[in-house]
Structure 1
C-alpha cells in the first residue's frame, strides 16, 4: 500500500510518500480502505517530535473509509460498512487498522469527506460546549482561531445556544469566515495587550465568561486577562507553542479563575459515549447547524505542503489528505 511516512522528526520536508506493507487487522480491529484523512496539529506535534512516536512512522489519527476486513472479536461492523474515526494511529495510509471501539458508522447521507473533516474537530467542539463549559444564553465566549475548522464549529454551537461570541483571527481576510459562522465581533490578533483591551472594550470592562484557546503561548496571558472573575479558561491546543509554567496561586488574584486542559480521549473513550456524541455531530451536519469547510485537499505526495500550509496560519477550515492525486 501507499502511505505517508515521517522518516525522522523535523519540518514538513520529512514527510514522503512511500510503499509500506499492508496491515492486517488484529483482534478488535477493522481494516479500512481510506477515503480521506484529516490533517491536525496533533500530526504536526508528532512529526516535530513533541508527541513522539519513534521514527520512521506513519502520521495521522483521523479519517473515513470503507471496511474491507475485520479481526477477531469484532461485532457490529463488517466489510462494506462506511466508518469514521479520530483515534487510529497511522491514518495517512491507503489501508488503516482502526480499533473497532474507536470507529463510528457513517450515515448514508454524510459523505466520506465530511465525515473525515468533522470527526476530531466536531467531536471536540461537542464536548467543549456540552461537557467542559456549557455556555448559557446571555454569556460571552472568546474563541481564538474562529475561522479555523474547530473555531467555526465552536462559534456555531455557542451562538446557537444564545451566547455572544467574540472571535479572533490571524489576518483580516479570515474575518468573513468567522462572521459567517456566527461571531458577533471579530478581532484581528495583534499585541497581547491590545487583544485584552479590545475584548474588555466589547464586554463593557466585565470580561468574557469562557475562553477557548487552541493557540497557546501567544494568546494565553491575554486570554486570562480577558476573563471575568470566576471565568473559565479552556486550553485546547498549542499552535504557537506550549504555554509557560503557571503557578496555580496566580489564578486567585486574577479573579479566582478556572483553568482546564481537556482532551477528546477522556470524553470519547467509551464506545457508547463516542457513538452518542458522533450521532449529535452528524445530526448537526444534516440540519445545517454545523458545516464543514474544506480548506484544502492534498494527495499523499503533497503531505509536506499540507503540513506547511496548516502551520502557515493562512488556511481556513479543514485540510484533508487523500490517496492518489
Structure 2
C-alpha cells in the first residue's frame, strides 16, 4: 500500500524521519548525509523540569531516536551502521537566515553527538556554517571515533573549533594558539594538516602574545565541561573515558607533529607555528623555518606567498619570508629528506 501525503501535512516530518530510519537501518551504507535533525533540551533541563512538576513537552523524531540508539548502545550488538565510514552534515535549505550572512547558524555539537561513538565512522564533513548562539552540549574530549574532520567555507568560533578538535580520540586529518595546542593532543596520529585560515585570522593579535590573550582569552573559560548540564549529559560516558595522562607537554611548534606528511598553511601561519607559540617561541634572530618543520614532511603547500611580499604584522623584517624560504629550499635536501 502506497500512501502519498501533502508536504503541508503535519505528519510529514515524522513519517519522513521514520522512513529515513528504516532505509538507513536496512542498508549497508558506507556514507551518509543529512540535514539537522532536531535540537533537544539537555538531560539536566529535562530532569529539572520533571522534578519541578512541569515536564518539558517532547516531540518524537524517529530518525533522531534511531541515531541516538545507534550512537549510545553497545555497538557490536546493533545490526545497523556497521559499514558507515563517511558522514556529511548538510545545512537546512528551509532555514531562513539574514540576507547578509554567507553561512548558516548550525548546531555542530548536536550533530556530532549523534555519530561520535559509531565505531566505523572515519570522516566528518560540513560546509558553509557558522556557530550558533545556543549550541547543544559539547562532546566529551577524546570520545569520538572519527579520525578526519573537514570544515570548509565556514565561520566557526575559535573556541568552538577547539572543542571539536579535542573531541576526537585519534585525529589523522584536520582542515592558531589554543587551536594548535588542541591539534597537538593528536601529535602522534595527525598525518594531514590543512589550515587555510589567514583571511579570517587576526594576525597582529596572534603574533603579539599580549594582544592574543586579550583577543582569544583562555580556552577553558569558554568550555562548559565544569557545568552541571555537561556532567549530567555525559555522566555514563565520562566514566568510560581514559584519564588524562600527566607529564611534560609536547613542544608547541610544527616540529612536534612528528607524523605529519602533508602540510598546507598560509605564509604567516607557517612562520608563527614553526617558531613556536607562547613560552615556546624561538627568538627571531636564531630561527629558521627549515629547522622546525615536521621531520617526516613529504609535501608543503604555502598559501598566500608572493615573492618580495612584506609581512602584515609589525616587528618582522620586510624580507623575512623571502629569506626563510630561500634557506628552506637550500637546506631541505639535507634536513627534510622526504620533502
TM superposition score category, shorter chain reference: under 0.3
Q: Which has the larger radius of gyration?
A: 2
TM-score calculated relative to the size of structure 1: 0.24
Larger strand share, 1 or 2: 1
Larger helix share, 1 or 2: 2
Structure scoring higher RCO (CA < 8 A, sep ≥ 6) equals 1
